Amino acid sequence: MVGLLRKTTGLVGLAVCDSPLQHNKNKLEGLLQGGQIEELILQAEKELSLARKMMHWKPWEPLVEEPPANQWKSSLCDF
């Protein structure tokens, strides 16, 4: 069984999940077709982190004050 475990993801900076059997690695990778399970876990963790930040930021609430009319106008380029 040890020979079947992944030793590397082949992706720089992305470590191998230390408990792939717990995550049903092969079945999930095949079903989701979203990459290696380590990538999917990392993305899910980042999305959870963002969701927690959004709860704090409350972007759905109205602005305290209106933005300036020319907020997005740049003097460097005219469209």
| Whether residue 1 has pLDDT greater than 50 | no
pLDDT tens, 11-23?
Answer: 788 888 777 666 5
CA distance 50 to 56: 10
The one-character DSSP state at 7 is S
| Whether residue 10 has pLDDT greater than 50 | yes
At 2, give phi and psi (nearest 5°): -60, -35
CA dihedral sign of residues 16, 18, 24, 26:
positive
pLDDT tens, 45-62?
Answer: 999 999 999 999 999 999
* 2, 16, 21, 37, 73 from 5: Cα distances, Å: 6, 10, 9, 13, 54
